[in-house]
A and B are shown apart, each in its own frame.
Chain A
Amino acid sequence: MTGSAAGSTLIELSGIAKTWPNGIGALTGIDLDIRRGEFLTLVGPSGCGKSTLLKLIAGLTRPTQGRVIARGGPPRIGFVFQAPTLMPWARVSANVRLPLDLARMPRAHADARVADALARVGLVAFAGSLPRELSGGMQMRVSIARALVTEPDLLLMDEPFGALDEFTRQRMDGELLALWSAQRLTVVFVTHSIQEAVFLSTRVAAMAARPGRIVDAWEIDEPCPRTDAFRLSPAFAAHAQRLSLRVAEAGGSELDRAIAR
């Protein structure tokens, strides 16, 4: 692959604006490079267009203005939604195999990949289970395995752990970071949790609403892998404060409430 060195641009968003058919502006003036190997998190209150931005990157929706440019050809994309979004009628293995089936990969080859992806999220023993037989956290792991099974160039995650309890979420954050560093993934992650953003990211982008825009973006230049000790460090607190200030400055009191959570 050409230009696959870490740090090189994978996707370039330039001058993006998105207006809904009813005239409401979802996004405006978005200029953002997604670099290979980074863990970029978009943080902002509800309605700031972070999910829309993710869909633009995935090619699920088109910008009204500006361009999404994929450097070195269209990337393979893995997408993880807020809900597990599994097929309730299919077993875990079939759910994870879905992207490979859709790409018409031979069954034997695909099954090996599925076993590998399930191993990565620690669910090998549950390959034959149905989604409803698993807990919320386990369903989310299935969803992540399905996103990883194609060995994506870019993993897009839209508040994937938002519906989980705090303890499960912190454990999942840790597991995700381990996967990211082991697989050298490129991740764009969306959250409204300041703590989650600082803990996970190599770079954060603070967003504001009405219209959705990026108000600030900077590197979280802290060593990886990150441990629970990082959560208690002064550097963590400093980044979290900066992030919360940036988002709060851009919004009103309504936003403060969203951030206070």
Chain B
Amino acid sequence: MTMQPDRRERWLRIIAPACVGVVVLALWQALVVVYRVPVYLVPSPLVVARTLVSDRVLLFHALASTLGVALAALAVAIVAGVGAALLFAQSRWIETSLFPYAILLQVTPIVSIAPLIIIWVHDLWVALVLCAVVVAIFPVISNTTLGLRSADPGLADLFRIAGASRWQTLWRLRVPGALPYFFGGLRIASGLALIGAVVAEFVAGTGGASAGLAYQILLAGMQLDIPRMFAALVLIAAAGVALFAVTSVLAHAALARWHESELPRER
């Protein structure tokens, strides 16, 4: 059978990792069955899958709650992060004065600030979002600032010769040039927003209507319901992959026409 090389490569990129996954799951299942590992230590993949189905109402409700926090945080991180980057790009003075505080935000572990945020902010959902924003915003700020600064110097000269205004240079040169950097930051931020949401839920430890996946994991741990713990973990991982995929699709849509990172490799 003859196949176009690039099509074959695309299939390979799906099939190869899928095969690894199947082999690992099969091995896991076999080891658990053969050695009769108790379900409260390591549940088999089939048990986890069964739990996903049987506890679906509870788990998917929690997933929706966690994803809601992560997505809201990501949206805020994008708006505020890009805003900060645009501000930093206006002058070296502003950047030099404020950038260290952005780094401070980045290096302070979220588990240590989360309790404070949860005390200060009355609305718990807002507090959770805020925690996730603190975790997710730095790559957006840092990458976008770098991108805005990385305009082709020759093109920048051309804009000066043409007497371009500050706004024109920003909008027509710096912003389009910063897009690849921004999407690089967004990709990292999407994962971090989810991590931030989960960590914040752990710290808050809240149940009730807004109970997220982290709370389900905590609760399942206390009840020694290990299969449910695994099921919640699977959902968190799946949510992370889905977020990453969405940002990749967005990046591809925005850059596929012109940027090297999204162009098919020529041979």
A residues near B (Cβ < 8 Å) are 55, 58-60, 77, 79, 81, 83, 85, 87-90, 98-99, 101-103, 130-132, 150
Q: Do A102 and B154 form a contact, CB below 8 Å, given A89-B176, A130-B258?
A: no
* A60 with B162, Cβ < 8 A, contacts A89-B258, A130-B257 known: no
**B-side binding surface: helix, strand, loop or mixed?**
helix
Max chain A Cβ within 10 angstroms of own Cβ: one of B160, B162, B168, B173? B162
Interchain residue pairs with CB less than 8 A apart (21): A58-B157, A77-B161, A79-B157, A79-B158, A79-B161, A81-B157, A83-B154, A87-B155, A87-B173, A87-B176, A88-B259, A89-B176, A89-B257, A98-B158, A98-B162, A102-B168, A102-B172, A130-B257, A130-B258, A131-B258, A132-B258
Q: In B162-177, which residues have CB < 8 Å from any A CB? A: 162-164, 168, 172-173, 176
Main secondary structure on chain A at its contact with chain B?
Answer: loop
Q: What CA separation (Å) do A102 and B155 show in the bound complex?
A: 13
* C-alpha gap A132/B158 in the complex (Å): 20
Chain B residues with Cβ under 8 A from A60's Cβ? 157, 160-161
Provide the bound-state CA to CA distance between A55 and B164, in Å.
Answer: 17
B residues engaging A (CB < 8 A)? 152, 154-155, 157-164, 168, 172-173, 176, 179, 257-259, 263
Nearest-CB residue, chain A, relative to B173? A87
Q: How far is the CB of B231 from chain A (nearest CB, A)?
A: 44
Cβ–Cβ contact B162 & A99, under 8 A:
yes
- Residues of A near B152 (CB, < 8 A) are 85
A24 to chain B, nearest CB (A): 20
Contact A103-B155, Cβ < 8 Å, known A88-B259, A89-B257 = no
Q: A60-B160, A99-B162 are in contact. List 6 more A-B contacts (CB 8 A).
A: A58-B161, A85-B154, A85-B155, A87-B155, A87-B173, A89-B176
Q: Is B258's CB under 8 angstroms from A102's CB? A: no
Q: Give the residues in chain A near B168, CB-CB below 8 Å.
A: 102
Contacts of A103 in B (CB 8 A): 162-163
CA distance A101 to B257 in the complex (A): 22
Nearest-CB distance from A84 to chain B (Å)? Answer: 9
Q: How far is the CA of A79 from the CA of B160 in the complex (A)?
A: 11
Instruction: Tell which of A59, A89, A130, A131 touches B161, judged by Cβ atoms closer than 8 Å.
Output: A59
User: A89 to B173, alpha carbons, bound, how many Å?
Assistant: 10
B154 to chain A, nearest CB (A): 4
Interface centre among A55, A89, A90 (most CB of B within 10 A): A89
Say how far A93's CB is from chain B's closest CB, in angstroms: 15
CB distance from A92 to the nearest CB of B (A): 12
State in angstroms the CA–CA spacing of A89 and B178 once bound together.
11
- Say whether A102 contacts B259, CB under 8 Å: no
Within the complex, the shortest CB–CB distance from B168 to chain A, in Å, comes to 6
Q: CB-CB < 8 A to A85: which residues of B?
A: 152, 154-155, 158
**Chain A residue nearest in CB terms to B169:** A102
A77 to B157, CA, bound (A): 12
Q: Which residues of A contact B258 (CB under 8 A)?
A: 88-89, 130-132
Chain B residues closer than 8 Å to A55, beta-carbon distance:
157
Residues of B within 8 A of A87 (CB): 155, 173, 176
Q: Min CB distance, B217 to chain A, in Å?
A: 44
Q: How far is the CA of A85 from the CA of B156 in the complex (A)?
A: 10
**A59 proximity list for chain B (CB < 8 A):** 161
CA distance A171 to B70 in the complex (A): 58
Given A79-B158, A89-B258, A102-B163 contact (CB < 8 Å): yes
Q: Whole-angstrom distance between the alpha carbons of A100 and B162 in the complex? A: 8
CB-nearest residue of chain B to A78: B161
In Å, the complex CA distance between A102 and B161 comes to: 10
Contact A102 B176 (CB under 8 A): no
- Identity of the chain B residue whose Cβ is nearest the Cβ of A146 in the assembled complex: B158
Select which of A58, A101, A130, A132 is within 8 A of B172 by beta carbon: A101
Q: Which residues does chain B contribute within 8 Å of A90, judged by CB atoms?
A: 176
Chain B residues within 8 Å of A88, by CB: 258-259
Please name the 8 residue pairs, one residue from A and one from B, whose CB atoms are nearest each other, closest first: A85-B154, A102-B162, A89-B258, A102-B164, A88-B258, A99-B162, A81-B154, A89-B176
B223 CB to closest chain A CB (Å) equals 54
Q: How far is the CB of B27 from chain A (nearest CB, A)?
A: 46
A contact residues around B163 at 8 Å (CB): 102-103
Which residue of A77, A81, A83, A131 has the most chain B CB atoms within 10 A of its CB atom? A81
B154 nearest in chain A by CB position: A85
CA distance A60 to B153 in the complex (A): 12
